[in-house]
Amino acid sequence: MTHKILAIHDLSGYGNTSLMAIIPLMYHFGIEVCALPSMLLSANTCFDGYQTLDTSSFMRQSLEHFKQLNMRFSAIYSGFLGNPEQVQTVLEAIDGFSDTPLVMIDPVMADDGLLYSCYPNSMISAMRELVKKADIITPNFTEACFLADLPAPDNPDGGFSDELCRRLLALGPKELIITSYPGKENLKSILYLSQTMPEPVHFPYTHIPCFYTGAGDILSTLILIYTLKGHERMNAIPKAAEFIQMAISHALACNRDGSAGVLLQELIHDLQI
Length of the chain measured in residues: 273
CA distances from 194 to 9, 176, 220 (A): 25, 6, 16
DSSP code of residue 239: H
Q: How confident is the model at residue 1 (pLDDT cuts 50, 70, 90)?
A: low
Q: Are 120 and 126 in contact (CB under 8 A)?
A: no
Q: Are 215 and 140 in contact (CB under 8 A)?
A: no
Judging by beta carbons within 10 Å of its beta carbon (0-12, 13-18, 19+), is residue 116 exposed, middle or buried?
middle
| AA letter at 138 | T
Query: What are the b/e assignments for 180-210, b being 16+ CB within 10 Å?
Result: bbbeeeeebbbbbbbeeeeebebbebeebee
DSSP code of residue 270: G
Backbone angles phi, psi at 256, to 5 degrees: -70, 135
Contacts of 158 (CB under 8 A, 6+ apart): none
CA nearest neighbour of 146 among 127, 162, 130: 127
Rounded distance, CA 182 to CA 187, Å? 7
Q: What is the mean pLDDT of residues 45-53?
A: 96
Q: How confident is the model at residue 29 (pLDDT cuts 50, 70, 90)?
A: very high
Q: What is the CATH number of domain 4-270?
A: 3.40.1190.20
Q: How confident is the model at residue 23 (pLDDT cuts 50, 70, 90)?
A: very high
CA nearest neighbour of 188 among 162, 214, 161: 161
Q: What is the mean pLDDT of the chain?
A: 96
pTM of the predicted structure, to 2 decimals: 0.96
Question: Domain locations in the chain?
Answer: 4-270
| Most confident of the following: 33-37, 159-163, 205-209 | 33-37
Contacts of 118 (CB under 8 A, 6+ apart): 45
Model confidence pLDDT, tens digit, residues 204-249: 999 999 999 999 999 999 999 999 999 999 999 999 999 999 999 9
Rounded distance, CA 100 to CA 32, Å? 15
Rounded distance, CA 78 to CA 106, Å? 6
Rounded distance, CA 43 to CA 45, Å? 7
